[in-house]
Amino acid sequence: MRFSGAERPPAADLLAAAGLLVAALTEVWVTQTAPGPQGMGTAVAILSAAPLAWRRVRPLIAVGGAASALLLPLVSQPPVETDGLVVLIAWLVAVHAVNAYGGRWTAWLGTLAVLVSMCVSIVFVPAPPGQPPGDIVWGLALFGAAAAAGRIMRHLATRLVSERAVAEADARAVERSRLARELHDVVAHGVAVMVVQAGAAQELVHTAPDRASSLLDAVQRTGEQSAAELRRMLDLLGADHPELGPQPRLADLPGLVAEVRAAGLLTELDSPPVAEDVPPGLQTAAYRVVQESLTNALKHGSRSAVVVRIRADLGVLTVVVDDEGGVSARPHSTTTAGRGLHGLQERVRLYGGTLQAGRVGSGWRVLAVLPLASETSPASGRSVLPIDPETVS
């Protein structure tokens, strides 16, 4: 039989099996405390102890050796008992191992094979003179205890692995949080320096062009350094590096609406060109709100009609998506990406905005309001708000 590197017995198991084998052979040939012929006793000792070297990598080999050792005396005529104390210990170790390291069915089949072999041996091999019947019950109880100990050990090992995985995940989360804070500090510092340098260059561009050019060079160097630090931090965070591309903008909404129409949802887009003057980050947030809402309308709505309205006035960017048909009993709350409206709420909060969703008559409305002021701070961490009927126009 050939074994791969992952199935080779550990050194500790090899030593344990060798120690039990030497002890069992000592009982047979030196102390002669093992009953029966010495030749048969030697074979039983080898079958019982040697396979224990594979008790963790191949536990069925261990219990197979134990079952074979139990049945081997039946080949002699008449059958004789040959097991000593060390051989009994080896059998208990095999039963424990198959329950501790084997799979569920492996444990049941291995334990059953040993117990059936023991029962057959008890029936056909005569007991030594003077052996009390209670010894047989005591032996069966020992094997049951070994099996139970193996199952408990397996349960504890599984629990330990699970707890270790949770602890490692928590440690990674803490480290990622620390790195994210460092990333924020690095990028914020670089951006602040670039803003100051660019402002100074703007003031000097007419009066001291050389000085302004030097400041713009410094802006470029600072930007390159910040970008390098950003890449380094992302590598530490273990972030993937997908193909970089432009973030979606409001100008991309007609293409999104066309895709949704092709999927069978009648959709109308009302977005005047003035909305294109809003900052890029707000445009991306508005695009995601529309994308999420249309996806939910496809999945949960009646597919009758959806109207998308974008407005940028009075200092706010307003996104309204009305599913005008009847909606299913289940609220729109999930997307193919698994983020849902609550994930969008985090994006909207980042820009100090609010997100509302709820029924309006027989339809469903999603309403996002995003302040246009760049200095707006993130809103408080509230969940998606319900639609207020008094605000519905």
317 falls within a domain: yes
- State residue 337's pLDDT score: 37
Separation in Å, CA 42 to CA 33, 38, 323, 360, 368 = 13, 6, 83, 86, 83
DSSP 278: S
Q: What pTM was estimated for this model as a whole? A: 0.48
Q: Please give the backbone phi and psi of residue 358, each rounded to the nearest 5 degrees, phi first.
A: 170, 180
- Could you give the number of structural domains in the chain? 2
Helix (H, G, I), strand (E, B) or coil at 63: helix
Which of the listed residues 87, 104, 131 is the one where a domain comes to its end?
131
Token pair recorded at residue 263: 């999927």
- State residue 384's pLDDT score: 56
Token pair recorded at residue 287: 């695009």
Which of the listed residues 77, 105, 131 is the one where a domain comes to its end?
131
26 falls within a domain: yes
CATH classification of the domain holding 382: 3.30.565.10
190 falls within a domain: no
Which residue range(s) make up the domain with 110? Answer: 5-131
Burial (CB count <10 Å: 0-12, 13-18, 19+), residue 40? buried
**CA 272 – CA 317 distance, rounded (Å):** 12
Q: State the Cα torsion 322-324-329-331 to the nearest 10°.
A: -10
Token pair recorded at residue 365: 């409305």
- In the block, tokens 């999104």 appear at 256
- State residue 302's pLDDT score: 62
- Per-10-residue mean pLDDT of the chain, 393 residues long, equals 62 94 92 84 93 93 93 80 84 94 91 89 72 69 92 91 86 77 74 81 85 85 79 66 66 89 85 75 89 84 81 90 65 44 81 89 89 64 55 47
Residues in Cβ contact with 156 at an 8 Å cutoff, skipping those fewer than 6 apart:
none
215 falls within a domain: no
Separation in Å, CA 229 to CA 3, 177, 187, 190, 238 = 48, 16, 8, 10, 14
273 falls within a domain: yes
- State residue 1's pLDDT score: 47
**CA 186 – CA 177 distance, rounded (Å):** 14
Torsion region of 125: left, alpha or beta (phi above 0 gives left; psi -120 to 50 gives alpha): beta
116: part of which helix (H) or strand (E)?
helix 104-124
268 falls within a domain: yes
Which of the listed residues 68, 100, 131 is the one where a domain comes to its end?
131
What is the strand order of the sheet 267-270 is part of? 267-270, 306-313, 316-323, 363-371, 354-360
Same domain, yes or no: 255 and 382: yes
244 falls within a domain: no
224 falls within a domain: no
- State residue 332's pLDDT score: 45
Separation in Å, CA 357 to CA 339, 363, 385, 388 = 15, 11, 6, 9
> Which residues does residue 301 pair with via DSSP β-bridges, in sequence order?
327
